Chains A and B, each alone.
Chain A
């Protein structure tokens, strides 16, 4: 079956530009997570949705980062006025009801801010 998909796979943005990263979770998965992974590091938690509700956004590094999941399926992570330190791989993961710790990751979006 189809796994988690993310688009675009690669994004180059000039400093100051806004970007939007999309995540299509596995159909029927209620939980959706966004992570940021810098080179040589593990994924860092950004935010978590259960259906359309954003239950935890404590990992978002600044108010330039915003995530939404309006219909409880597709999610978008938006970064405003990108900075060089935002360069990283952004991973999306989803998990089914009752097995929230079993996370299925998408391939990630590699963001490079120049």
Chain B
């Protein structure tokens, strides 16, 4: 079993829709959590950190559920430009070292 698991998708939704996807992690000692975005044939880019209290950045909301060991990302009013692969990232430590990426969830927004 992978340490970080994501539904690979693809999620195909119309523009303006709300879409949510989850990520589960197996190591209960994990301390830091992030969502990265990766466009086709491009490098990953940090989208947002995920805090226990939940956090929002514009149309994006991230949630962490430590008890169930999952992280979620909600995208409201989706835009064509949101089409990408979303990578869930978990770090066991408060500082960097062993950072684990999920395989990613592909999202495609259609007009």
Q: CA A100 – CA B4 in complex, angstroms?
A: 20
Interchain CB contact under 8 A, B43 and A105 = yes
For the complex, count residues of B whose C-beta is within 8 A of A.
Answer: 22
Most buried by A among B42, B43, B44, B102: B43
Q: CA A107 – CA B42 in complex, angstroms?
A: 6
Q: CA A103 – CA B8 in complex, angstroms?
A: 23
Known: A48-B97, A56-B97, A101-B99. A42 touches B87 (CB 8 A): yes
Interchain CB contact under 8 A, A101 and B32 = yes
Q: CA A42 – CA B104 in complex, angstroms?
A: 6
- Choice from B32, B96, B101 contacting A31 with Cβ under 8 Å: B96
Known: A42-B87, A44-B101. A103 touches B46 (CB 8 A): yes
Judged by a CB distance under 8 angstroms, whether A45 is at the interface is yes
Q: Encode B13-50 as 1/0 by CB contact (under 8 A) with A.
A: 00000000000000000001010000000111110010
- Choice from A31, A45, A48, A101 contacting B100 with Cβ under 8 Å: A45
List the B side residues contacting A101 at CB < 8 Å: 32, 34, 49, 91, 95-96, 99
Q: CA A91 – CA B38 in complex, angstroms?
A: 12
List the A side residues contacting B4 at CB < 8 Å: 42
Interchain CB contact under 8 A, A100 and B98 = no
Q: CA A107 – CA B45 in complex, angstroms?
A: 11
Interchain CB contact under 8 A, B45 and A42 = no
Most buried by A among B32, B42, B44, B98: B44
Q: Encode A23-35 as 1/0 by CB contact (under 8 A) with B.
A: 0000000010101
A positions within 8 Å CB-CB of B: 31, 33, 35, 40-45, 48, 55-56, 58-59, 91, 95, 100-108
A-B contact pairs, 12 of them (CB 8 A): A33-B96, A42-B101, A42-B102, A45-B99, A55-B97, A59-B98, A91-B44, A95-B96, A101-B96, A103-B96, A105-B43, A108-B43
